[in-house]
Structure 1
Amino acid sequence: MTTTALRRGSPPRRGWRVPAGLLLLGFIPVLAGAFRLTQLGGGAEITPANERFFATPGPVVVHIVAVSGYAILGALQFAPRLRARRRGWHRVAGRLVVLCGLIGALSGLWLTLFFPRPDNVGDLLTAVRLVVGSAWILFLVLGFTAIRRRDVAGHRVWMIRAYALAMGAGTQAVTQVPLIVAVGELDRLGNALAMSAGWAINVAVAEWLIRRRPSRPVRNTKPLEAR
């Protein structure tokens, strides 16, 4: 929490509302990933629905571990008290966030391009996934290079955008599950629209947060440190 916020009498716990909400959102893909890892490691029965995961488990495991680390560490990066009081932790965790994000995005692109598609995944959803994965990588690179230039404001903006895209998997549970309950299994178009809606919602919220309090460019006057 910033000094200004403390002067205004804001309770310290308010600084944890955003990261707590993000952790809750990230819990959905993390839980799904843990379930998949349990299947792969526990010798679950191979069915037509999961056989592609057992055929090539390596990229799946890499993607799950990277995205899980990104979801958890990334959420904690939004805690102002941690940023203010534990700058060393913020820098180290930030590097891990970028690394996990790049690995998660690259492995996700590989899975999109080379993994067997389930019946409800068509060309439209594949194209959207390629755009989202590429944008995720671009935003991470822009965020990292911004902090290397000591552009703190630019770093914040690009990392918010990157996290919003990555956490589309959490919001997709909200956009998909009600439709499945209402109409049953979604076809390729319905599945593509429901999943795209999850990413779109996250992007819209991220842009609203970025523009809610426009800030002047901030330059870090301390020695160059990658966060």
Structure 2
Amino acid sequence: MTVRAAARPDGSGGPAGWVPWSLVALVVVPAAAGSLRLAELSGGPRLMPDNPAMTASPMPVVVHIISAILYAVLGAFQFSARFRRRRPGRHRSAGRVLVVLGLAVAFSALWMTLFYPRQPGTGALLYIFRLAFGSGMAAAIILGVAAIRHGDVARHLAWMTRAYALALGAGTQVSTQGIGNAVFGASEVTTTLMLGAGWAINLTVAEYIIRRHGGSRIRATAEVGSS
């Protein structure tokens, strides 16, 4: 093992060891809201805003919530370079599961967008945003799978990072929508723009990570694997 590779932060136990846990923390609020919705759909008390479409056709939302929580939590640790180096078999096995979960998240979101009636306070622009970002997540996962099948690890990590960033949009939207409502007041325009901002912020951060750190992480993994 080279000293240079060993000294790099690896995202799991060194200087960047907080990264997976911070990603998990980002989804605590939407995961809690999703859990309340699941409890409601299973006959529990109504604590969430009423949505007759979900009550009439609960399967898509159940699939979406369960898949999204598992994808967010399990996916966070796939970005640990130490985990990839020390447990490559588990990384690949978890990756296969995450592909299924991620596609379930994306396609269930698209199904609800296309077939559930629009909720009050949402408009055409939010409808377009949901179609675009849901399709983008599915496409990123498919491109990530295609890349690794061709042995292109850097491109694989890049596309999977983008897919994960889109999946975590709900976590960032808790903040963007809260700030937007506090500053501009609650309205259809504010809701739409702040939800869009959540996805846009996550994609911007993902692109920054891909361009600034992606190459060094790939080199570190390759050096350790070949030593």
TM, length-normalised to structure 2:
0.87
Change (3 A) 1:157 1:125: same
The amino acid across from 1:131 in the alignment is: A
Q: CA separation in 2, counterparts of 1:33 and 1:155?
A: 29
Instruction: Percent identity, please.
Output: 45
Equivalent residues in 2 for 1:181-192, closer than 5 Å: 181-182=182-183, 184=185, 186-192=186-192
In the alignment, does 2:23 pair up with 1:29?
no
Q: CA separation in 2, counterparts of 1:72 and 1:9?
A: 21
Equivalent residue number for residue 179 of structure 1: 180
The amino acid across from 1:188 in the alignment is: E
Equivalent residue number for residue 81 of structure 2: 80
Aligned 8 A contact 2:173 2:198 in 1: yes
In the alignment, does 2:146 pair up with 1:108?
no
The amino acid across from 1:146 in the alignment is: A
Q: CA separation in 2, counterparts of 1:48 and 1:23?
A: 25
In the alignment, does 2:172 pair up with 1:205?
no
The amino acid across from 1:81 in the alignment is: R
Change (3 A) 1:151 1:48: closer
Shift of 1:25: 1.1
Change (3 A) 1:46 1:20: closer
Q: Which runs of 5+ in 1 are unaligned?
A: 222-227
Shift of 1:40: 1.2
Per-residue CA distance 1:36-94 (angstroms, 9 max, x = gap): 11111133349972333211111110111111111011111011221111111100110
Q: CA separation in 1, counterparts of 2:155 and 2:204?
A: 18
Aligned 8 A contact 2:161 2:206 in 1: yes
Report SS of the residue matched to 1:42.
coil
Change (3 A) 1:101 1:214: closer
Per-residue CA distance 1:5-56 (angstroms, 9 max, x = gap): 5346989343422111111112232222111111111333499723332111
Report SS of the residue matched to 1:213.
helix
User: Which segment is superposed worse, 36-45 or 53-62?
Assistant: 36-45
Change (3 A) 1:88 1:15: farther
Q: CA separation in 2, counterparts of 1:9 and 1:214?
A: 13
Aligned 8 A contact 1:59 1:107 in 2: yes
The amino acid across from 1:134 in the alignment is: S
Equivalent residue number for residue 97 of structure 1: 98
Per-residue CA distance 1:166-193 (angstroms, 9 max, x = gap): 1111000010112334455x22211110
Per-residue CA distance 1:111-140 (angstroms, 9 max, x = gap): 001112211111100001000011101100
The amino acid across from 1:20 in the alignment is: W
Aligned pair count?
218
Give the root-mean-square deviation of aligned CA atoms. Answer: 2.6
Aligned 8 A contact 2:158 2:214 in 1: no
Equivalent residue number for residue 158 of structure 1: 159
Report SS of the residue matched to 1:12.
coil
Q: Which runs of 5+ in 2 are unaligned?
A: 223-227
Equivalent residue number for residue 41 of structure 2: 40
Aligned 8 A contact 1:15 1:79 in 2: no
Per-residue CA distance 1:142-181 (angstroms, 9 max, x = gap): 1011111111001011011111111111000010112334
Q: CA separation in 1, counterparts of 2:215 and 2:48?
A: 53
